[in-house]
A and B are shown apart, each in its own frame.
Chain A
Amino acid sequence: MTQTGTSTTETAPNAATPNAAAKAGTTYKYNTVQDLPGQERGELFQLLLALTDTKQRLGFQDSHWVTGTPALEGAVGAAALAQDELGHARTLYTLLRTFPEAPESLSEENDLKSTRVRVHPAALDEKWDTWLKLIAMSVTLDAALQQVFDLLKGSSFGPLAGIATKIAQEEKFHRVYGETWLTRLAEHDDATRQKMQKEIDWAYPIAESWLGHGQSGLVAEGIVTGQIADLKAPWRTNLSKVLDKAGLKLPAERSDWSSWNADKREVASA
């Protein structure tokens, strides 16, 4: 963010200026949005928009459970998750607004009330009917996004590397929340475990689809330090361990990616 002098021009508090977001003493291939090659810049914008819209919706979904969990501890945790996700979205939107590709509807004043079609999985649109969906999403989709940010920490685009480093730091606590509650709920009784399995089966394909399919040109430029689609294998391995510990089953891998929507990072419904 840059706020200059005594002018009356106010910008969002976290409108990080490119150089300011970069790690001190680190040289980046791309220090500003303007430095990015055009084709890669467009692809990065689309990826970050999906990532940011997804985080914003996760924040809204988390916020619904601040007063709706069976335990006060779960509610406090949901509040913290919501605050984090919305904070991450706030910072990422600020970066996105510096892209020439940013539509007017993405402006700070217009975004929340705009009719802009968000680019995130449709499953994030409707209010979830049970808190168990939050837990299932935490160990699947949130965990997948954490791995994406780990890839972005080493980005050759300085502003993104700085933001991703901070987000990755904060996401560690999300993992504790999701995995702890998953185990606790699965061990509660057979009925709860079956319900938890049902929500894992619901969340799994959403998260797997977010990681997606195909190869990105962003990797060659070091803007993303690895193929996001290649995260599926380690993500699935980690998830398997978490589910095993809770006595839950790992859903089957997707094999058909013919209907994958790269913009929304989901597989379109038949």
Chain B
Amino acid sequence: MDFTGITPLPIAMPPQKKGNGKTLDEIAAHATPTERRLWEALTEVMDPEYPISVVDMGLIYGVHEQGGQVRVDLTFTSMGCPCMEYIISDIRERLEAESGVQGVKIEVVWVPAWTRQRLTAEGRAQLAAWGVGTGEVL
């Protein structure tokens, strides 16, 4: 996504680290069709500090739906994150816009603790394109 009107230059991705860079298909492999739709909706919720989604940032640990009731397991990169309220509000607002969603419950989880290993393949590519390091050793 382009936030500034400047198209990032294409650059070569660093070699993939073991266990790093999952795709949405892998993350949502066991999701029901409804849950898959909710995962995709969450890819439109952007991290307030980086130009990537909360899914690509690896903040979403789980999306569960039953009878219109949705539970999202959410983590943050740090406990001192100043954007918690924004992120929670944005997630709720986006999911409540989905058809069939009657309620959204968000649970914050701290284990496993977030690391850069949680970035998706798409997230790593986007951060790399913007010159943000993702920890790989070149």
Q: Does A198 contact B (CB under 8 A)?
A: no
Contacts of B69 in A (CB 8 A): 5
| B interface footprint on A85-105 (CB within 8 Å = 1, 0 otherwise) | 111101100000000000000
Contact of B113 among A2, A84, A87, A166 (CB under 8 A): A166
Of A15, A165, A166, the most chain B CB neighbours within 10 A belong to: A166
Considering the complex, which residues of chain A in the window 12-40 have a beta carbon less than 8 Å from any beta carbon of chain B?
13-17, 19-24
Give the distance in Å from the alpha carbon of A21 to the alpha carbon of B80 in the complex. Answer: 16
Which residue of B84, B85, B87, B104 is within 8 Å of A5 (Cβ)? B104
B103-120 contact mask (Cβ, 8 Å, vs A): 1 or 0: 111111111110000000
B85 close to A166 (CB less than 8 A)? no
Judge whether B106 and A3 touch: CB under 8 Å. Answer: yes
With A5-B69, A20-B73 as contacts: A165 and B78 at CB distance below 8 Å: no
Contact of A165 among B85, B107, B113 (CB under 8 A): B113
Do the beta carbons of A170 and B111 come within 8 Å of each other?
no
Residue contact B109 to A86, C-beta cutoff 8 Å:
no
Give the residues in chain A near B87, CB-CB below 8 Å. Answer: 13
Residues in B42-98 with C-beta less than 8 Å from chain A: 61, 69, 73, 76, 78-82, 84-85, 87-88, 92, 96
* Residue tally, chain A, CB below 8 Å to B: 33
Interface of B is mostly: mixed
A87 touches B108 (CB 8 A): no
Residues of B within 8 A of A85 (CB): 80
Residues of A within 8 A of B (CB): 1-6, 13-17, 19-24, 83-88, 90-91, 161-163, 165-167, 169-170
Is the CB of B102 closer than 8 A to any CB of chain A? yes
Q: Report 24 cross-chain contacts, Cβ distance below 8 Å, ordered by A residue.
A: A1-B88, A3-B106, A4-B104, A4-B105, A5-B102, A5-B105, A6-B104, A13-B108, A14-B76, A15-B108, A16-B107, A16-B110, A24-B111, A83-B80, A85-B80, A87-B78, A87-B79, A87-B80, A88-B79, A163-B110, A165-B110, A166-B79, A170-B78, A170-B79
Asked if residues B110 and A13 are in contact (CB atoms below 8 Å), the reply is no
Q: How far is the CA of A6 from the CA of B102 in the complex (A)?
A: 8
Cβ–Cβ < 8 Å partners of A23 in chain B: 111-112
> What A residues does B106 contact at CB under 8 A?
1-3
The answer to whether A166 and B107 touch across the interface, beta carbons within 8 angstroms, is no
Known pairs A21-B111, A86-B80 / 14 extra A-B pairs, C-beta < 8 Å? A6-B104, A14-B108, A23-B112, A24-B109, A83-B78, A83-B80, A85-B80, A87-B79, A87-B80, A88-B79, A161-B111, A166-B110, A166-B111, A170-B80
Which listed residue, B61, B78, B102, B107, touches A1 by the CB 8 Å rule? B107
Q: Which 10 A-B pairs have the closest CB atoms?
A: A5-B103, A87-B80, A13-B84, A20-B107, A87-B79, A83-B80, A166-B110, A23-B111, A1-B108, A162-B111
